[in-house]
Amino acid sequence: MKGNVLVIGLGLIGGSVALAIRQEHKEAFITGFDVNEQNIALAKVLGIIDESCDSVEKEAAQADLIVIAIPVLKTAEMIKRLAAMPLKKDVLITDVGSTKERIVEASQVLAEQGIAFIGAHPMAGSHKSGTGAAKAHLFENAFYMLTPGENITAEQIETLKTWLKGTRAHFLEISPRVHDQLAGVISHFPHIIAAGLVNQARSSELDSELVSRLAAGGFRDITRIASSSPAMWRDILLQNQEVILSLMDSWQTEMEKIKSLIKERNSEGIYHFFDEARRFRDSLPSKSKGAIPAFYDLYVDVPDYPGVISEITGYLAEERISITNIRILETREEIYGVLVISFQTDNDRERAQDCLGRLTEYDTYLV
Ligand SMILES: NC(=O)c1ccc[n+]([C@@H]2O[C@H](COP(=O)([O-])OP(=O)(O)OC[C@H]3O[C@@H](n4cnc5c(N)ncnc54)[C@H](O)[C@@H]3O)[C@@H](O)[C@H]2O)c1
Ligand SMILES: O=C(O)C(=O)C[C@]1(C(=O)O)C=C[C@@H](O)C=C1
């Protein structure tokens, strides 16, 4: 598509959306604005935007599409500012915020002027933030939630989907309220638990060096999201307050339930608690990207000698298999190491397993 796109907020999500738009619509002209000048400079160097601007006011008037990709508490303010500016009458405005109800409420000022705002939330991301972490394929196979108001036409929704086609995401339309309930359960609340687990380990009275060393395995995996931006999560919890508080009540009930089962030494009940969770967890689709991204991990049992990582990555590079992450599990000190290599797709992981099976003696495991 041809047209002027203005991206406000050039961090992880704004940068990734801009890259996805650029990849699909070569003729679009993308202008970026951010309160942080370093991020603007980096976005230019990385080719995320064509041009930067030093005020939203100047650029908004020319824009055909405006993407607001800033913290959720700031999004409502930005909507108000946009509503006070001269805009093209058929401009489409969207956002990427992790909460929707408050933002869509705030967009009423635009609706009153006949300006289309479509609330949106690409449900994939990372614990990393900032322009440098932006990737064109961040949202591939993820759900991209759309929460259009009643004033929005089917044609406007189609136009937005066409603009965002390069994300390769699956669009899903729901109401802002249901969005916030769903996001509360599968994204917002889990971040509280992850942070809580880390805080519990940190404040435990155990030998802190030993805690850090042992926490390198499974604990590290389930608490990855505790490394996310504290400012972003503060804002999300404040905006989704009602849902979060009600989830906390049901979580406390769940904890009380397991607490009494343990107190009563009710082995059948404890088994059932884990079994119910396992059955539901195993029934979740494993190949599509949900809100919490799936990483396709391959475990490689390697002897611990210098150069083993470059040997393995060398074989994978020769067969042009991209990896997204590599780390050593330090659960078996001083004997062998287990390398965990993450891939973007299941296909890459299968190719890597085949490649390492042919070229090395190392055992590999899919978990
Ligand atoms: N990080 C994730 O995993 C994720 C996933 C989906 C949606 N989101 C949502 O995307 C939005 C952006 O998050 P992010 O992860 O890209 O954060 P980020 O910190 O990487 O980027 C935010 C950018 O917005 C800029 N900014 C802040 N206030 C601004 C303002 N008033 N005007 C212009 N620029 C401003 C910051 O300088 C920064 O560059 C948030 O609303 C978040 O809830 C995040
Ligand atoms: O992968 C992560 O680190 C994320 O936290 C991504 C995540 C999530 O909770 O799943 C975070 C916030 C978003 O609004 C959507 C996706």
Q: What would the pLDDT profile of 203-212 be if each residue is shown by its tens digit?
A: 887 777 888 7
| Better-predicted residue by pLDDT, 270 or 137 | 270
179-283 has CATH 3.30.565.10 classification? no
CA 213 from centroid of its chain's CA atoms: 27
Task: Starting from the CA of residue 129, give the closest ligand.
Answer: 1
What is the dotted CATH code of the domain comprising 296-366? 3.30.70.260
142: left (phi over 0), alpha (psi -120 to 50) or beta: beta
Using the predicted structure, report yes or no on whether residue 306 has a pLDDT greater than 90: no
Task: Starting from the CA of residue 15, give the closest ligand.
Answer: 1
Q: Residue 288, Cβ neighbours under 10 Å: how many?
A: 11
Q: How far is the CA of 94 from the centre of ligand 1 (A)?
A: 14
Digit-coded pLDDT (tens) for 239-251:
999 999 999 999 9
DSSP labels, 38-69: HHHHHHHHTTS-SEE-S-HHHHHTT-SEEEE-
* Level-2 CATH architecture, domain 3-174: 3-Layer(aba) Sandwich (3.40)
Q: Which is nearest to 239 in space by CA: 187, 293, 305, 173?
A: 187
Q: Identify the pLDDT of residue 289.
A: 60
| Better-predicted residue by pLDDT, 142 or 64 | 64
Q: How far apart are CA 324 and CA 135, in angstroms?
A: 12
Is residue 89 helix, strand or coil? coil
The best mutation among 145, 223, 225 to test binding of ligand 2, ranked by most ligand atoms within 8 Å of the C-beta, falls on 225
Work out the percent of the chain whose per-residue pLDDT is above 70: 94
Q: How far is the CA of 77 from the centre of ligand 2 (A)?
A: 23
As a residue count, the chain comes to 367
Q: How far is the CA of 259 from the centre of ligand 2 (A)?
A: 29
Give the nearest ligand 2 atom to 293 CA.
Answer: 1
Task: Starting from the CA of residue 291, give the closest ligand.
Answer: 2
Q: How far apart are CA 209 and CA 197, in angstroms?
A: 17
Q: Enumerate residues lining ligand 1, CB below 6 A.
A: 8-14, 33-36, 39, 69-72, 74, 96-98, 121-122, 125-126, 129-130, 229, 232, 236
pLDDT band with cut points at 50, 70 and 90 for residue 294: low
Where does CATH 1.10.3660.10 sit in the chain?
179-283
Mean pLDDT in residue range 109-137: 92
Q: How far apart are CA 192 and CA 78, in angstroms?
A: 27
CA-proximal residue: ligand 2, atom 2 (nearest): 126
Digit-coded pLDDT (tens) for 1-39:
999 999 999 999 999 999 999 999 999 999 999 999 999
Q: Residue 193, Cβ neighbours under 10 Å: how many?
A: 14
Q: How far is the CA of 135 from the centre of ligand 2 (A)?
A: 15
CA-proximal residue: ligand 1, atom 31 (nearest): 74
Contacts of 259 (CB under 8 A, 6+ apart): none
Give the nearest ligand 1 atom to 229 CA.
Answer: 19
Q: Would you say the CB of residue 106 lies under 6 angstroms from ligand 2? A: no
Where does CATH 3.30.70.260 sit in the chain?
296-366
Cβ neighbourhood burial of 77 (10 Å; 0-12, 13-18, 19+): exposed
Q: How far is the CA of 335 from the centre of ligand 1 (A)?
A: 43
Where does CATH 3.40.50.720 sit in the chain?
3-174
